[in-house]
Amino acid sequence: MTDHGISRRRLLGTAGATGLALGAAGGAVGYAAAPSSGASDPSGASGTGSGKDALASLGTGEVMFHGKHQPGITTPMQSRGHLIAFDLTAGAGRKEAAALLRRWSATAERLMAGEPTGGDDTAVARDSGPSSLSVTFGFGASFFSRTGLEKRRPTALDPLPDFSSDHLDKARSNGDLWVQIGANDPLVAFHALRAIQKEAAGAARVRWQMNGFNRSPGATARPMTARNLMGQVDGTNNPKPSDKDFDERIFVPADGDPAWMAGGSYAVVRRIRMLLDDWEKLGLKAQEAVIGRHKSDGSPLTGGTETTEPELEKTGADGKVVIPLNAHARITRPDQNGGAAMLRRPFSYHDGFDAHGEPDAGLLFVCWQADPMRGFVPVQRKLDRGDALSEFIRHEASGLFAVPGGAAKGEYVGQRLLEA
């Protein structure tokens, strides 16, 4: 990367930093949590206390662009996210796509380091540090036919099956290229979104774009698993990087097929609308029966803490199982789905109210796995057959993207595909 010197944004962002930086695979212990301020903050910002010190430290978090895996997969969840899909413009092919990925990678590297994009930088984030910004790039199935690379398209990108809860808007689904942006400051996230969109001019046009959010770092007294807009603790059973089979489940192995996907992963993206008016009419006990967990702390209805294994066979005084047979927590357990597992890394969204006055809100569901047919698909099929939660959600958009491994120094994302 060209040395641009230390920008004012970079200087402000690194002042007082303790040197803690997260690589693409580092610090993932907090990936399902909304981190709190302080020295144990898993967001990548190392604080020394509360108040002004903790607030100032938020901008110092830096995620590494280069690495074995792309950032934004095991990176701790950020408080602001943008998902955006592009289609290549008419006449654009492999050559133009390679040039675009080269530009995008250079821009992402600079922004993630807290540097301006260049001479045409909008200065939106001039006063901010990196704020744990991550930018992740992926390819949709249609990308391969548009670039003459059909023979190199992974079989894992075969279309997802139809599900009964699908009410998909094709205009907001799929796409040739996909970009995920996350940061702990909304201006930093928007700055990256605008830069990526501007760099695409002439080569790709926006197909769809969605905005999401999570709890802000420091909003809770200690790091906690995030809650969704139904008020439920969401992400309890996520695979952990410390699991012995984590890499096997989430990332394509070095000897995987195709070879250009080594170290990569597959992202399933679903816009899931929550029918909140219907959900909020339920009493607390009815909501907990739908999920199979206590709303207060995420613990299973059979007792314990959030991380206690549910006792699926336990019955109550009435002789019925305590956790209903169609409870969401029961159906999604890996041991109820042949061991299928995926790393969920979603954002909530709220896009105002529809014509009926109902909130257009829910979850921008993003999950990662080495193979969607062994991760997302078997779990969703099981949910489709009788999940109590299905009555209160609607899948309105969908996408599946191949996200190649991280770029080495001097490389751009996707180079092993586009220049082989």
- Measured on CA atoms in the order 285, 290, 294, 297, is the torsion positive or negative? negative
Active site residue 234: yes
Q: How many CB atoms lie within 10 A of CB 179?
A: 24
Q: What's the rounded Cα separation, in Å, for the pair 212 and 260?
A: 30
From the list 75, 92, 172, the residue with the least C-alpha distance to 131 is 75
From the list 123, 133, 116, the residue with the least C-alpha distance to 2 is 116
Choose, from 41, 87, 121, 234, the residue flagged as catalytic. 234
In sequence order, which residues have a C-beta less than 8 Å from that of residue 123 and are 6 or more positions away? 116
Q: What's the CA angle centered on 296, arms 294 and 302, to 5 degrees? A: 25
Q: What's the rounded Cα separation, in Å, for the pair 44 and 260?
A: 29
End-to-end CA distance of the chain: 22
In sequence order, which residues have a C-beta less than 8 Å from that of residue 201 and are 6 or more positions away? none
Looking at the annotation, which residues are catalytic? 234
